[in-house]
Structure 1
Amino acid sequence: MTRRILAVLAVVIAFGAVLTGCSGTGVVSVRPQIVVTTNILGDVVSRLAGEQADVTTLMKPNADPHSFEISAAQAARLAEADLLVSNGLGLEEGLQQHLDRAAESRARMFVAGDRIEVLPYTAGDARGTPDPHFWTDPARMRDVVDALEPALAEIDGVDAAEIRANADAYRAELSALDAEMVAAFAAIRVEKRALVTNHHVFGYLADRFGFRVVGAVIPGGTTLAAPSAADLRDLVAAIEDAGVRTVFAESSQPDRLVRVLAEEADLRVEVVELYTESLTAPGAGADSYLTMMRANTARIAQGLGA
């Protein structure tokens, strides 16, 4: 009898070992696995997937999408995911080698930048190259949702009807956001719709809502570059010509360069922080895409509308 009990216990223990994993419950999830590079897209994917899949976002809150890196264990998971979602257009510079390897291994990939009408940079060192910051335009984010819905619905084990319902609800929220932004920016006089920030990140917002991108402290599409003395002189001249009194610093980047520019050039400008390339931790002001965009809209409208 004792031997029989021991044998049963051995089977139970062995079966438990198969089920245990790295999740908080100690049980491996049987739901589809989706890996997303940036936290902005991670938020959108999570809204659409709901409880249908486990969504892993690689980029931590307040990180820089141009330079954040991942561990070897995270890199190994890319090719194993049921769907790998990335921004594309050269945004994830620190991850590009891992994304290339995942593509070579024929991982199922969704590149958001391939599903929108892409704008080129119009100024700086990156002039003429694709601008990856399309999320500053909620209409283009709706295009991403339209393309992402069928990609999620095709994953084995998900309920396509639930994905569709989630996508419809989120599209309605994006439309409401777009209308709010139109109304808020309409209060800014046309001659005051001039944007200056750390680097060129507002091209899509400017195109959608009728702003002018006067310039950026870093004259390119990446935060990994550095401005020269000539770049700063040119920017100072552009700011003075446009009569800009508010410049915007990004939450994922220190605003030191913007403040130095204002102080050394003796420019009387206000520095306002925006959440442009990363979400924050929960409760820290921009923990979802919709919250981030509403916060930015209010700050731009207040900063330029005074």
Structure 2
Amino acid sequence: MIRRTALKLFGALAALPLGATVALAEAPLSVVATTGMIADAAIEVGGEAVEVRALMGPGVDPHAYRQTRSDIVALANADLVLWHGLYLEAQMEDFMRDLAQDGGVVAVAEGLPRDLLIGHDDYDNKFDPHVWMNPELWSRVVVTVRDALIEARPEAEAAFRANAEAHLAELAVLAKYTAGVLASVPDDSRVLVTAHDAFNYFGKAYGFEVVGIQGISTESEAGLRRISELVDMLVSRNVGAVFVESSVSDRNIRALIEGAAAQGHEVVIGGELFSDAMGEPGTYEGTYLGMIDHNATVIAGALGGAVPDKGMQGLLN
């Protein structure tokens, strides 16, 4: 395999027009992040000192994503690569670990204390990767992003620390809002049914029973028996709302609704949640703050809680 350093040199030279000279002025730090959530953290902390590209956009499932040729070039040419780890980018895992041998590659969630992580039901020493569902836990990842940026560009340390402090303050406000609005949901309504198990950290933090049709990875399959069991659960517990996800097919959720209807029980879609990807770029929901604000507000509202009209800051669409 061609090593990253060679690819970086080739990419840099190929990008220069004939006769051009290399500028001596320091350009923004080139950062490539796998997910939108990580990219958002890098943008917030890096500010004007970074140029950030996210490989996976809205509606993209990181569990099944494979790097493209253009991704490989971007990753090789980046000053810093930020990926999640914890087997979230399962199809990219070997590639990223090989890329890391040349340095400048950080798995931002791998360093989280193991006692804060939720273990995988099927595999020893594997953990649920969806830590961004708890803003307090995600704040630790933001600190890791900050430290990675400082190591990559030490001369901008003061700016990175100031930006990180301001963003962490925003995350503290978000965590307080999320806890407050979800606390308004009646205890007997705190059942969150979604397409796959992306919300376990959410459930643990806010006292919700989380039921995913598929497992932690969207690569798992939901059989007829699983669908039948969940239909019976919806009927017996009088669950009236289930949720689709922006990055996962709604096929299984609609099967639940149809199955419940066949038993005379009405179930509606409570809303679309952002699980493994954020909203559209340039929108509030396309930021981490907006993503979590949206999820908390939609869930609380659909399950009988009291929510502000347009979320925490009145910015939700």
**TM-score, normalised relative to structure 1:** 0.84
Alignment match of 1:139 (pick from 119, 136, 141):
136
Query: Quick one: structure 1 residues 29 and 263, their matched pair in 2 at CA, closer, same or farther if it must change by over 3 Å?
Result: farther
> How much has 1:297 moved relative to structure 2?
1.0
* 1:182 maps onto 2:179 in alignment: yes
* 1:261 maps onto 2:265 in alignment: no
Residues matched between the structures, number? 282
Question: 3-state SS of the aligned residue for 1:159?
Answer: helix
- Amino acid in structure 2 at the alignment position of 1:269: V
* 1:110 maps onto 2:106 in alignment: yes
2:32–2:53 Cα contact (<8 Å) kept: yes
* 1:227 maps onto 2:222 in alignment: yes
Counterpart mapping for 1:277-296 below 5 A:
277-283=276-282, 286-296=285-295
Q: Which residue of 1 aligns with 2:240?
A: 245
CA distance in 2, matches of 1:197, 1:243: 16
Alignment match of 2:190 (pick from 185, 188, 193):
193
Question: 3-state SS of the aligned residue for 2:243?
Answer: strand
Runs (5+) with no aligned partner, structure 2: 1-16, 306-317
> How much has 1:224 moved relative to structure 2?
1.8
Query: Quick one: structure 1 residues 257 and 128, their matched pair in 2 at CA, closer, same or farther if it must change by over 3 Å?
Result: farther
> How much has 1:127 moved relative to structure 2?
9.1
The alignment yields a C-alpha RMSD, in angstroms, of: 2.4
Q: Which residue of 1 aligns with 2:231?
A: 236
* 1:53 maps onto 2:50 in alignment: yes
> How much has 1:223 moved relative to structure 2?
1.2
2:194–2:242 Cα contact (<8 Å) kept: yes
> How much has 1:41 moved relative to structure 2?
0.9
* 1:32 maps onto 2:19 in alignment: no
- Amino acid in structure 2 at the alignment position of 1:268: E
- Amino acid in structure 2 at the alignment position of 1:169: A
CA distance in 1, matches of 2:133, 2:226: 25
> How much has 1:71 moved relative to structure 2?
1.9
> How much has 1:240 moved relative to structure 2?
3.1
**TM-score, normalised relative to structure 2:** 0.81
What are the Cα deviations for residues 278-300 of structure 1, in whole angstroms up to 9, with x where unaligned? 11223556210101111111100
Q: Which residue of 2 aligns with 1:5?
A: none
- Amino acid in structure 2 at the alignment position of 1:232: I
Q: Which residue of 2 aligns with 1:69?
A: 66
Query: Quick one: structure 1 residues 254 and 158, their matched pair in 2 at CA, closer, same or farther if it must change by over 3 Å?
Result: farther
1:37–1:57 Cα contact (<8 Å) kept: yes
1:216–1:235 Cα contact (<8 Å) kept: no
Larger Rg: 1
> How much has 1:14 moved relative to structure 2?
4.9
Identity %: 30
2:195–2:245 Cα contact (<8 Å) kept: yes
* 1:203 maps onto 2:185 in alignment: no
1:53–1:158 Cα contact (<8 Å) kept: no
Question: 3-state SS of the aligned residue for 2:195?
Answer: strand
CA distance in 2, matches of 1:282, 1:305: 30
CA distance in 2, matches of 1:273, 1:231: 22
